[in-house]
Amino acid sequence: MIRLLYFASLRDRLQTDGESLALPENVSNIGALKACLAGRGGSWKEVFANDELVLAAVNQEMAQDDTPVRDGDEVGFFPPVTGG
């Protein structure tokens, strides 16, 4: 199982702040996880489509699409943040 957390506008759009997910066999990195979540359709597809920027962190470390995801990991997804 992995723990997924959704922050800021993603939480609102997906109507959840997190979930536990049995790691699918075909998911080995963040990019594959995003594709798996997009496969749910609806707002999931909109949020995790390739043309929308969604940042990720694995175990509270910034991650890229090729960052590995393993059983027991915590994965957070959040929109880009600007500051000033």
DSSP category for residue 63 = E
**CB burial class (10 A; 0-12, 13-18, 19+) of residue 32?**
middle
Q: Convert the pLDDT of each residue in 25-77 to its tens digit.
A: 999 999 999 999 999 999 999 999 866 799 999 999 999 999 999 999 999 99
Q: Is 29 left (phi over 0), alpha (psi -120 to 50) or beta?
A: beta
Domains in the chain, CATH or no CATH each? 2-78 (3.10.20.30)
pTM: 0.92
Query: Alpha-carbon distance 66 to 14, whole Å?
Result: 24
Distance between CA atoms of residues 6 and 10, nearest Å: 6
